Amino acid sequence: MICIATFYSHFGAICFQKLCEAHRIPARLMPVPRTLSSSCGTCVRFEGEIPVPETGLPEETEQIVELLADGSFRQIWRTDN
């Protein structure tokens, strides 16, 4: 499963990428696709399970979507804020 996480800040994106690396999940920073909205313009593309620590996702996380075979996105998680 290929997913994209968007964030309210660049700091949130960097924290999430480090979280993925700590869980040995391939991840990279990249610009947010135009079809997704994001406050900071940076997202993390990662493969596999969502790395959720006991403390939860980084506070700046906006949403996580799955990239579907046809190029569209399916929302998996979105913040309540």
Per residue in 16-74, pLDDT tens? 999 999 999 999 999 999 888 767 899 999 998 888 777 778 889 999 999 999 999 99
Amino acid, res. 30:
M
Q: Which domain holds residue 30?
A: 2-78
Q: Structure pTM?
A: 0.91
Cβ atoms of 38 and 6 within 8 Å: the answer is yes
Rounded to 5°, angle at Cα 39 from 1 and 47: 15
- In total, how many domains does the chain have? 1
Amino acid, res. 28:
R
Cα–Cα distance between 28 and 10 in angstroms, integer?
A: 13
Cα–Cα distance between 69 and 60 in angstroms, integer?
A: 28
